[in-house]
Structure 1
Amino acid sequence: MAAPASRRSAKGQPPTPYALVSTPAASSKRAPEPASFIRSERVRLLVTRPPPDGERTAGALRARGHHVLIAPMLRMEALPWELADQAYSGVIMTSANAARVIAGDPHLAKLKGLPTFTVGRHTAEAARAAGFKELHCAEGDRRDLALLLERRIDARAGPLLYLAGEDRAGDVEVKPLVTAVVYRMAKLQRLPVAVEAGLAQGQIDGVLHFSRRSAQAYLECAQRADVLSRALAPLQFCLSCQVAEPLASAQAAGIKIAARPDEPALIELVDNHQPKEPDDERA
């Protein structure tokens, strides 16, 4: 990725706009020009995360002075499932949505006392809120979770129960394992009218993406609204490289990846790209 353009300008002249980091085009086809952050106290952002997390993310960004629109690209739907009668040695969750679904499930009473392993702190907090008592958090990604399980679980013990989503980035690499699909994230078909208008008029400076599936849904909705090129112009803030893949394939003008796959790191990434006053304008 190219480095941001310099902000230094000649005295008395308007400063050069903030340049976004561009992703190299995957072909000779011309990529859209990246949008520039406006020079004001408020950066215009779009959060594509489903509720209730999307509202929390938007609130954190607004507290930092940003103007935020919310356009959830996915909707959680609980699925019917059966709990096989086995002596499980623990429970695995890689999404807070699994914990939210199981919180109202009749099987919860049988599971909440088991050691519970989560990929990140956000999922661990949701699991605790659902009633799970013994929590072990990998504080990272699936590879970190696999290492945690390797250290904590006796391979001779009973199987682990993985409470999973229907569409997921991958499975947990541990055996023995029983996977129960307890929810799915359904794609929404349209962007909110205000978001379509904001993209069409170039009024959105950055878009926050928390999953590959929601990023793909964002592109599909933009295509239906005939604003795809405009939707690719803002800087795309992504939770991970995997999340960014659909946007890179679509030749998004600018992509930035969080240092860690969690909400605080993504918000920090946004904060680090706020415009700053040049030296010759400070008085």
Structure 2
Amino acid sequence: MPAKPQPRLLLTRPEADSRRFAAMLPEWEAVISPILRIEPVAHDTARLHAARGLVFTSAHAVPAAGAGRGRLAFCVGRRTAESAREAGFDIREGNGFAEGLLPLIEAAEVPLLHPHGRHLARELPVEGVVVYDQIAQPLNDAARTLLAEPGPVIVPLFSPRSARLLSAAFRHFRAEAWIAAISPAVMDQWRAPAACSAIAANLSAEAMAATIRRLAEREQS
């Protein structure tokens, strides 16, 4: 029996995030085509810079809060916590889920602000400030060429909105989608056919990389 074709990766997070993730899977050929562009929006900079406590659910929001100066920051997971720590915040790291921040928020002894994107997957019981937009982008030529051919393409999904946008685009192509989703909630937003799928054990890039390897091994065995 001939060997099944090796699937390629379609990475659709913002460019820097996709390149970091591709480096975790050096054995895979990857095509990068960001489906969202992060664009800063006007906001009350002075208020954020003066806030005694911040809630970060994305590393993209950290620059908007200014220098940490030892201020308290509740961070959804490791990648966001790393960004906040580098900016000088005194971080408290969550478990990767927005819900995991709730006990920290409830126990906070200082007022909190939550800088976030215009499209928010989960509301938190803290005052929010929109500091960036996530603008939908069409697939680039490299991605369209990849998807125009039959054969398996592994599609890692990291957010509900990117899952919806990408599944809408995917319907127009011949490629066979193998979906690796970071959570059940993200998987639920995939609206196109999928030949197979798997869900990561937790909300980390490492878990997603392990899921991709597991999915490929299972489907190619």
Could you say which TM-score interval applies, normalised by the shorter chain?
0.7 to 0.9
**Aligned residue number for residue 32 of structure 2:** 70
**DSSP 3-state at the match of 2:13:** coil
Q: Which has the higher contact order (CA 8 A, sep 6+)?
A: 1
Match of 2:83 in 1: 126
Cα deviation 1:47-83 (Å, max 9, x = unaligned)? 1111211111112112xx1111111100000011014
The 1-side partners of 2:112 and 2:95 are apart by: 19
| Alignment TM-score, normalising by the size of structure 1 | 0.70
AA matched with 2:134 = M
Alignment of 1:98 onto 2:61: yes
Q: 1:81-130: CA deviations, max 9, x gaps? A: 0144997441100001111x42xxxx624x5432100010000111122x
Is 1:195–2:143 an aligned residue pair?
yes
Question: Where in structure 2 are the equivalents of 1:127-166 lying within 5 Å?
Answer: 127-129=84-86, 131-151=87-107, 153-154=108-109, 157=110, 159-166=111-118
State yes or no: 1:236 paired with 2:179. Answer: yes
Q: Give the whole-Å Cα distance in 2 for the aligned partners of 1:234 and 1:108.
A: 40
Provide the alpha-carbon RMSD of the alignment.
2.5
Identical amino acids, percent of aligned pairs: 30
2:207 to 262, 265, 276: 265
2:124 counterpart of 1:172: yes
Alpha-carbon distance in 2 for matches of 1:171, 1:89: 21
Report if the CA contact (8 A) 1:191-1:222 is conserved. no
Unaligned runs of 5+ in 2: none
Structure 2 match to 1:219: 167
Q: For each residue in 1:190-239, what CA deviation from the matched residue of structure 2 results, as whole angstroms up to 9, or x when unmatched? A: 2122221221212443111111111222123335xx32xx35x3211111
Q: How far 1:269 moved relative to its partner?
A: 0.5
Q: How many residues align?
A: 219
Aligned in 2, Cα 1:197/1:51: closer, same or farther, shift over 3 Å? closer
Distance 1:237 1:149, change over 3 A: same
What code does the residue aligned with 1:98 have?
A
| Structure with more of its chain in strand, by fraction | 2
8 Å contact kept, 2:75–2:92: yes
Deviation for aligned residue 1:250: 3.2
Contact 2:15 2:32 in 1 (8 A): no
Decide which structure has greater helix share: 2
2:216 and 2:98 map into 1 onto residues whose CA distance is 31
- 1:78–1:183 CA contact under 8 A, matched in 2: yes
Residue 39 of structure 2 aligns to a residue in which SS? strand
State the partner residue of 2:15. Answer: 51
